[in-house]
Amino acid sequence: MSGTTKVVSVVIPVTNPDIDVDRLVQGYRKPFEDEGMDFELVFVLDGVRGALARELDEMQNHHPIKVVHLQGSGLGESIALSAGVARARGELILNAPPYIQCEPDDLIKVVQALQSGADFVTTWRHPRVDPWLNRLQSRVFNWCLRILMGIRFHDLNSGLRGMRRQVVQDVSVYGEMYRFLPVLAERQGFNVVEVKVRHREEKGRQGFYGVGVYLRRILDILTITFLARFRQKPLRFFGMLGFLSILVGMAMVAEPLYDRWYGESLQDRPIFVLGIIALAFGVQLIGFGLVAEIIIFTQSGSIRDYKLEDLVEGGLPPVEEADQDGPSESYGDAPMRVRELLPGEDARWDGFVRRHPHGSIFHLSGWRRCVEETFHHVPHDLVVEQGRRWLGVLPLMHVKSMFVGEQLISIPYAVYGGILTDSEEAQELLLEAAQRQGKKAGAGYVELRHLEERPGRRMKSDLYVTFRKDLPSKVEEVLPGIPKRARAEVRRAVEKHQMTFEQSEDYQSFYELFSDDKRRLGSPPLPYRWFCALREEFGRQIVLHMVRDRDGKPAAAVMSFAFQGVLYAYYSGSRFDLRGCGVNNFIYCRMMEWAVNEGFQSFDFGRSRKDTGAASFKQHMGFEAESLSYEYLMLRDDATMPDFNPSNPALSTHRRIWSNLPRFVTRRLGGRLSRYLP
C-alpha cells in the first residue's frame, strides 16, 4: 500500500474542557507506535476554548496531533466527525471518544478489520464493566433496534468505530444520527463488521437520565427505522398509516350514518365527528406520501444510494480474480504475514477450506462456532496472507482442561484439523504464530490433528489410526466388497432378526443409544445441545441413519457428516442386548449403499485407537488402517504429550466406576465433563 492508505487518522470530538488530554494522547498513540503504524490524532474542539485548546496546540510540536476548532458550540458529533475527516490525511478513520472507553490495544483490532476488507467496523464492548443500570438501558436500546429493524449489532452506543473515508463521504448523517452510522452504511452496501473490544470502567454518568433523553432516543429509533426502511418508498409508510386511519374512520361513522338513514340526528354523536377527523387525517397522510414520492422522483438523479463493488471494462480482468484464484505479479514481492481471522471473514475462510484438497468439515467456520457456543472455548484462528491473497489457514482453539491443563488444539472434538497450505514457508509462519499464541495464552502445547503428513520434523503421536476407502460406482457392488464374515453378519441381521434400515430424524433416540454406549465404555458423553448446535449449523450436511428391530424399536444409529463427496460416519450408538446380532455390520453396510445411491465417492469410517475393538471391527468390515499424523509443539520445558485417554492403564479404575454409575448421572455429569475432554 502507498501513501495515505497506510495512515490511520483517529478523530476525537471534544465537547468537555475537563478531559485528561495527556492520558488520552498517551493511551491512543501507544498501540500504533508498538505496531509501527503511521497515524495521527485529530482533535475536533466543539465549543471548547481556553486551557485545553492551548495545551493541545502546544502538544502538536511533540506528537502527531492535529487540532480542528469549530466555530460555535454544540454542533454535534456528526458535524465534528465530518469536519475531522475533511482535515485528516488517512484513508482509514477511527472515531474514538474523548476518554479511554476501551483498551487502547484493541484499536489495532479495528484497524486490522479495515485492512482485511471491511468498510466499517462497529465495536461491541464485551464484557461490560459499567454499572448494571447503564448496561440495562443500553441493552434495552439495542434490543429495540434489533427487533424493529432486524439488525445484528449489539452495541450501537459504543464510542469506538472504524471506517474508510468513503463511508463518511457517501453516507449522510446529521444531528444524533451519528450513532446509527453502521446501520445506514450497511443499508447502502458497505461491508460492516462487528468486533469485540475489552471495556474499561467509565467514569461518566450513572443511573437514570432525564425524561427528555428517553424521548429523544424513542424519536431517534423511529427516525432511523423510517430512514432505513422507507427512505426510497415513503408512500408505503404514509400510505399504510393513511389507509389504517381511513378504515378506523369508516368503522366509526358507519353506525351513525346508518341511524341517520332512519331519521336519527347526528348532533349528539361525537363518534361521528371523530370518524370524520380520522378519515381526513388518513387522506392527508396519503397526500404526504405522494408529496414525498414527488420529491424523491425529482431528486433521484442526485441521490446515490448504492456502493460500487467492482467495475470491469474493455476485457480487462477484475482485480479480485487475480487476487483469489492464482498468483499475482503485484503480490510477488509482498511479504507474508500471519494474523488472526477477523469478523466478517468466515465466508472467505470456508471458501479456502473447500478449495484445499485436505480441507474437511472440521476446518469450516461452522465447526468453530458450534464449539464456541457449546463449550465456550476461545478461538484463535490464524491466516497467512501475501498482500490480499491467502496462502494458508490454521484453526485453533484455546482449551482449558482440568485434566491436562491449558492447550491449543486444531481442532477440538474433531478427528482431522491442522494446517491447510501448500507452501512450506507459509506453514512455518503459521507454526511460529501458533507457538507465540500458545505461550501468550499460557498453554503447555499446541496439538495439530493432521490427517496427512506435513513437511518438517515435530513430535508426533502414533496412538490413532483412521479408516477410509473409495465407494464403488453401483449399489450392488457394496455388499460383495465386504469380507465374507461381515457379509454373513449383515444377512443374519436381516433374515434372522428382521432388522430394518432408515434415514431418520429421531435424534432423541440416537442420543440415548450414543450416551449408553459411552457409559458402557467408561467415557463421558457429549451433551445433547452439541448435537443440536451441529444440526442447526450444518443443516442437510448432517445425516442420521437408524436400524430398528422387528418390534420397531431403535437398535443402532449413526450420525454422519456430508462434505465434498465424502460421508463421515462420526457418532454412533447401539443396544448392548443386540450384540452378536450383526446390527453394526448391517447399519454400516446399508449406509455405504445409501452413500453410493446419493452420489458420494468416499466413505470415512472415522478415527480409532490402535489395537482396540473398534479398530478391529472396521478392519473386519474391509477397511485398512491409516496412521494419523497428530503433531505437538511443546511450549514449556515441563510439558509432556497428553496421555489422558482410554488406552492409559491408570484410568481403568475411573472408567470402571463411571460405567457403573446410574444413567441419569452419567448423562447430566458427562455433558459438563466433556468440556474438558476435547
CB 633 within 8 A of CB 449: no
The answer to whether domain 3-227 and domain 345-463 are alike in fold is no
Give the cell for residue 631: 503433531
| pLDDT given at position 300 | 46
Which residues have CB under 8 Å from 41's CB, separation 6+?
Answer: 10, 12, 25, 28, 29, 63, 64, 65, 66
| pLDDT given at position 151 | 66
Instruction: pLDDT band for 46, please (50, 70, 90 cuts).
Output: confident
Average pLDDT value for residue range 120-125: 89
CA distance 387 to 394: 18
CB 569 within 8 A of CB 588: yes
Query: Is the pTM value of this prediction over 0.85?
Result: no
Whether residue 317 is predicted with pLDDT greater than 60 in this model: the reply is no
Q: Where are the domains of the chain?
A: 3-227, 234-302, 345-463, 472-600
Secondary-structure class of domain 472-600 per CATH: alpha beta
Average pLDDT value for residue range 373-378: 91
Both ends of the chain: CA-CA distance in Å? 42
The fold of 3-227 is Spore Coat Polysaccharide Biosynthesis Protein SpsA; Chain A (3.90.550)
Instruction: pLDDT band for 533, please (50, 70, 90 cuts).
Output: very high
| pLDDT given at position 625 | 92
pLDDT tens for each residue of 162-216 = 998 888 877 766 556 667 788 878 877 788 888 889 888 665 445 445 555 556 6
Taking all residues of the chain, what is their mean pLDDT, rounded to a whole number?
A: 83
Q: Which has the closest alpha carbon to 437: 409, 415, 414, 403?
A: 409
Exposed e or buried b per residue across 34-58, where buried means at least 16 C-beta atoms within 10 angstroms of its C-beta: eeeeebbbbbbbbebeeebbeebee
Whether residue 655 is predicted with pLDDT greater than 60 in this model: the reply is yes
CA distance 28 to 65: 11
CB 34 within 8 A of CB 72: no
Q: In what order do the strands lie in the sheet with 420-421?
A: 336-340, 382-386, 389-394, 420-421
CA distance 428 to 425: 5
Whether residue 316 is predicted with pLDDT greater than 50 in this model: the reply is no
Instruction: pLDDT band for 327, please (50, 70, 90 cuts).
Output: very low
Q: What percentage of the chain carries pLDDT values higher than 90?
A: 37
Average pLDDT value for residue range 240-256: 88
CB 232 within 8 A of CB 280: no
Average pLDDT value for residue range 32-49: 87
CATH assignment of 345-463, given 3.40.30.10, 3.40.630.30, 2.20.25.90, 3.30.420.40?
A: 3.40.630.30
Pairing of strands 625-627, 464-470: antiparallel
pLDDT tens for each residue of 283-312 = 888 887 788 677 655 654 444 444 444 433
